[in-house]
Structure 1
Amino acid sequence: MTMLASLAQAYERRAARGEAPPFGFSQEKISWLISLQADGTPAGAPVDLREGEGRKRSPRSLPVPQPAKRTSGVAPNFLWDKTAYVLGVTAGDGKRTAREHAAFIDSHREWLAGEKDEGLSAFLGFLDWWRPARFTELGWPEDMKDQNVVFALESERLANIRIHDRPAAQAIWAGLSGGGDKNTALCLVSGRRGPVARLHPAIKGVWGAQSSGASIVSFNLDAFTSYGNEQGDNAPVSEAAAAAYTGMLNQFLDRDSGHRLQIGDASTVFWADGDDEAANEAAAEIFAFFFDVDDEVEAKRVGDALKRVREGLSVPDWSAALAPGVRFYVVGLAPNAARISVRFYIEDDFGVLAKSVAEHQERLHIEPPPRNTLSLWRMLLETATLRKRENIPPNLAGDWMRAILSGAPYPLTLLNAVLMRIRADHNINATRVAMLKSILIRNFDVGAPVALDPTCKDPGYVLGRLFAVYQQIQYAALGDVNASVTDKYYGAAAAHPRKVFTTLASLSQNHLSRLGKQQRGRMVNLERDIAGIMEMMEPSSDPFPANLSDKSQALFALGYYHQRNKYFAKSDKAAEADAEGDDA
Structure 2
Amino acid sequence: MILKELVDCYDLMANSDKFQIADNNSNNENVSFKVTIDQDGIVSSVIDLREGSGSKRKPVLMTVPYKFSGRTGKSIVPYFLYDNAKYLFGCELDSKSLELNRFDEYVGASKKLHMEILEGSQSKYQLILEKFFDNRDQNIEIVKEKDTEALKSGFIVLCFKNDTKCIHEQQEIKKAFALYRQIKFKDVKDLKGDCLISGFTNVPIARTHTPIKGVLGSSASGAMIVSFNESAFESYGKKQSYNASVSNGNEFKYTTVLNKILSGNENKIYLSGNSIVFWSNKIGCKEEKIIHAFLRDDEDDNDEEGNGGIKYNQEGVDKIESVIKLIKQGKTVNIDKLKLDDSVNMYILGLYGTKSRIFIRFWFKNSLIDFVKLTNKHFEDTKLKRIRKINKKDLIHEEVGVKMSLILKTITPYGKSQNTPKALINTLFKSILTGVVYPISIYNKILERIKAEAGEDYAVNHTRVSFIKGYLKRYYRLNNFKDKEEEITVSLNKESKNVAYNLGRIFAILEKIQMDSNNGSTNIREKYLSSASSTPKSIFPNLLNLAQYHIAKINKENNRMFNYYDKIIGEILLNINEFPAVFSSDEQGMFILGYYHQREDIYTPKKDKEEN
Scaled by the length of structure 2, what TM-score is found? 0.83
Q: Distance between the aligned counterparts of 1:41 and 1:160, measured in 2?
A: 16
**Which residue of structure 2 aligns with residue 358 of structure 1?**
376
Which one of 433, 453, 465 corresponds to residue 493 of structure 2? 453
Give the 3 Å change call, closer, same or farther, for CA 160–124 of structure 1 in structure 2. Answer: closer
The SS at the match of 1:502 is: helix
Instruction: Answer yes or no: is 1:196 the counterpart of 2:235.
Output: no
| Partner residue, 1:582 | none
Structure 1 residues 94, 122: closer, same or farther in 2, change over 3 A?
farther
The question of 1:281 aligning with 2:288 is answered no
Distance of 1:110 and 1:497 partners within structure 2: 79
> Which residue does the alignment assign to 1:150?
157
Give me the whole-angstrom Cα distance separating, in 2, the residues matched to 1:189 and 1:101: 44
How far does residue 177 in structure 1 lie from its aligned partner after superposition? 6.9
Distance 2:416 2:244 in 1: 40
Going from structure 1 to structure 2, the CA distance change for 1:308 and 1:336 (only over 3 Å counts) comes to: closer
Q: Which residue identity is paired with 2:70?
A: K
1:545 pairs with 2:561: no
Structure 1 counterpart of 2:474: 442
Q: Once structures 1 and 2 are overlaid, which stretch shifts more, 565-574 or 407-416?
A: 565-574
Check if 1:318 corresponds to 2:346: no
Q: 1:83 aligns with which of 63, 82, 85?
A: 85
- Structure 2 distance, partners of 1:532, 1:56, is 61
Q: Which structure 2 residues correspond to residues 67-466 of structure 1 after superposition, within 5 A?
A: 67=67, 68-74=69-75, 75-87=77-89, 88-92=91-95, 102-103=105-106, 105-106=108-109, 108-110=111-113, 112-113=115-116, 114-115=119-120, 116-131=122-137, 134-135=140-141, 138-144=144-150, 145-156=152-163, 158-162=164-168, 166=173, 167-176=175-184, 180-192=188-200, 193-225=202-234, 227-256=236-265, 258-274=266-282, 281-292=285-296, 293-296=298-301, 299=308, 301-302=322-323, 311-313=334-336, 318-319=338-339, 322=341, 324-368=342-386, 374-426=402-454, 427-445=459-477, 446-447=485-486, 448-466=488-506
Offset, 1:458: 1.9
Indicate how the Cα distance of structure 1 residues 390 and 50 shifts in structure 2: closer, same or farther if over 3 A, else same: same
Partner of 2:530: 491
The structure-2 alpha-carbon separation of the partners of 1:355 and 1:573, relative to structure 1 and needing over 3 Å to count, comes to: closer
Query: 2: CA distance between counterparts of 1:177 and 1:48?
Result: 36
Amino acid at match of 2:269: L
Q: Deviations over 1:100-134 (max 9, x none)?
A: 76245325515633444332443343233324992
Deviates most, 555-564 or 505-514: 505-514
Question: Could you tell me which amino acid in structure 2 is paired with residue 406 of structure 1?
Answer: T
Q: CA deviation at 1:345?
A: 0.7
1:11 is paired with a residue whose SS is helix
Q: Using the alignment, how far apart are the partners of 1:65 and 1:371 within structure 2? A: 54
Tell me the SS of whatever aligns to 1:480. coil
Please give the secondary structure, in 1, of the residue aligned with 2:236. coil
CA deviations over 1:447-479 (Å, ceiling 9, x no partner): 421110011122221121111111111112112
Deviation at 1:73, TM superposition (A): 5.0
Q: Distance in 2 between matches of 1:120 and 1:194?
A: 36
Aligned to 2:573: 534
Partner of 1:578: none
Q: Distance in 2 between matches of 1:100 and 1:528?
A: 86
Residue 9 of structure 1, CA deviation: 0.9
Which deviations, in whole Å up to 9, do the C-alpha atoms of 1:157-190 show, x marking residues without a partner? x244536762213332455577832222222122
State the superposition RMSD in angstroms.
Answer: 3.2
Select between 55-64 and 485-494 the one with higher mean Cα deviation.
55-64
Deviations 1:521-556 (A, max 9, x none): 32222111111111112x4xxx32232222222111
**Matched residues, number:** 557
Pair 560,170 (structure 1): closer, same or farther in 2 beyond 3 Å: same
Offset at residue 351 of structure 1 (A)? 0.9
Distance in 2 (CA, whole Å) between partners of 1:153 and 1:455 is 80
SS in 2 for 1:368: strand
Change in CA separation of 1:462 and 1:78 when aligned onto 2, cut-off 3 Å: same
The aligned amino acid for 1:508 is A
CA contact (8 A) 2:323 2:333 kept: no
Q: How far 1:565 moved relative to its partner?
A: 1.5
Comparing 330-339 with 58-67, greater Cα deviation is found at 58-67
Q: Which secondary structure does the structure 1 equivalent of 2:411 belong to?
A: coil
The alignment-based identity, stated in percent, is 26
**Residue 452 of structure 1 aligns to which amino acid in structure 2?**
L
Does the CA contact (< 8 Å) of 1:197 and 1:239 recur in 2? Answer: yes
Q: 2: distance between equivalents of 1:121 and 1:417? A: 68
Quickly say closer, same or farther: Cα 1:178–1:197, change in 2 above 3 A: farther
Instruction: Tell me what 1:579 maps to.
Output: none
Question: Residues 382 and 467 of structure 2 are in contact (CA less than 8 Å); yes or no, is this contact kept in structure 1?
Answer: yes
Report SS of the residue matched to 1:469.
helix
Quickly say closer, same or farther: Cα 1:101–1:568, change in 2 above 3 A: farther
1:149 deviates by: 0.7
2-structure distance, mates of 1:419, 1:91: 52
Change (3 A) 1:318 1:164: same
| Aligned-partner Cα distance in 1 for 2:103–2:10 | 32
Deviations 1:555-581 (A, max 9, x none): 11110011111211148879xxxxxxx
Name which of structure 1's ranges 494-503 and 165-174 shifts more when overlaid on structure 2.
Answer: 165-174
One-letter identity of the residue aligned with 1:23: N
- Distance of 2:557 and 2:332 partners within structure 1: 53
Residue equivalent to 1:562: 597
Q: Which residue is equivalent to 1:63?
A: 63
Contact 1:495–1:553 (8 Å) recurs in 2: yes
Structure 1 residues 230 and 268: CA distance shift in structure 2, 3 A: same
The whole-number CA distance in structure 2 between the counterparts of 1:549 and 1:132 is: 79
SS in 2 for 1:270: strand
Q: 1:370 Cα shift?
A: 5.4
Counterpart CA distance in 2 for 1:214 and 1:572 is 60
CA 63–110 in structure 1, closer or farther in 2 if over 3 Å, else same: closer
1:37 has 2:38 as partner: yes
Q: Which runs of 5+ in 1 are unaligned?
A: 575-584
Rounded to whole Å, the distance in 2 between the matches of 1:26 and 1:368 is: 50
Deviation for aligned residue 1:242: 1.3
Mark the runs of 5 or more structure 2 residues left unpaired by the alignment.
311-321, 391-399, 478-484
Distance in 1 of aligned mates of 2:148 and 2:448: 50
Give the structure 2 partner of residue 473 of structure 1. Answer: 513
3-state SS of paired residue (1:475): helix
Mapped to 2, the partners of 1:399 and 1:100 lie a distance apart of 51
Structure 1 length normalisation: TM-score? 0.86
Residues 267-297 of structure 1: CA deviation (Å, up to 9, x unaligned): 11111114xx5xx522211221233242136
Residues 131, 222 of structure 1: CA spacing in aligned structure 2 closer, same or farther, 3 A cutoff?
farther
Deviation at 1:98, TM superposition (A): 7.0
Distance 1:49 1:194, change over 3 A: farther
